[in-house]
């Protein structure tokens, strides 16, 4: 059975891939809304330094913990705004307010969309 992709999304396959986020792309800031973003230690350091606050203040104001697979290592998640459509607290009308220090998940977007995975094995598909 042939894999079906959402409208406008095509597998990259062996082609080159490039993406630039700016106000003229149709998805501008969509990835910053209603997102479930895990923060890693390096992300926390980069963002708190960009905000010029200490780690404790950053964690208290902008994150929350969730239980992960290992009960001794909770995951740190980004706390979104409390609007009708929750968004990253660093999102401005002009885009990301911390762009040069953004978390790793933001840095790699939309690369995950360029990779297709087999649903059962999770292995990358090289051709579709």
Q: 4: closest CA among 111, 110, 112, 116?
A: 116
- Calculate ∠ Cα 6-12-17, nearest 5°: 115
pLDDT of amino acid 15: 74
Give CA torsion, residues 87, 90, 92, 95, to 10 deg.
-90
pLDDT of amino acid 21: 84
pTM of the prediction? 0.73
pLDDT of amino acid 16: 77
pLDDT of amino acid 70: 84
Cα 68 to chain center, whole Å?
Answer: 18
Give CA torsion, residues 9, 10, 12, 18, to 10 deg.
-40
pLDDT of amino acid 22: 87
Domain ranges within the chain, ordered by starting residue: 30-114
pLDDT along the chain (128 residues), means of 10: 68 74 88 93 97 97 92 92 95 94 90 54 45
pLDDT of amino acid 110: 76
Contact (Cβ atoms closer than 8 angstroms) between residue 82 and residue 72: no
pLDDT of amino acid 127: 41
């Amino acid at each position: 059975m042939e894999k079906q992709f959402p409208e406008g999304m095509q597998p990259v396959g062996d082609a080159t891939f490039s993406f630039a986020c700016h106000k003229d792309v149709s998805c501008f800031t969509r990835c910053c809304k209603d997102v479930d973003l895990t923060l890693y230690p390096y992300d926390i350091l980069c963002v708190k330094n960009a905000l010029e606050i200490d780690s404790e203040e950053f964690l208290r104001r902008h994150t929350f913990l969730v239980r992960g697979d290992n009960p001794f290592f909770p995951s740190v998640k980004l706390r979104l705004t409390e609007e009708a459509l929750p968004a990253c607290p660093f999102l401005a009308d002009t885009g990301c307010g911390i762009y040069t220090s953004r978390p790793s998940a933001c840095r790699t977007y939309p690369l995950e969309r360029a990779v297709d995975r087999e649903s059962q094995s999770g292995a990358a598909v090289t051709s579709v």
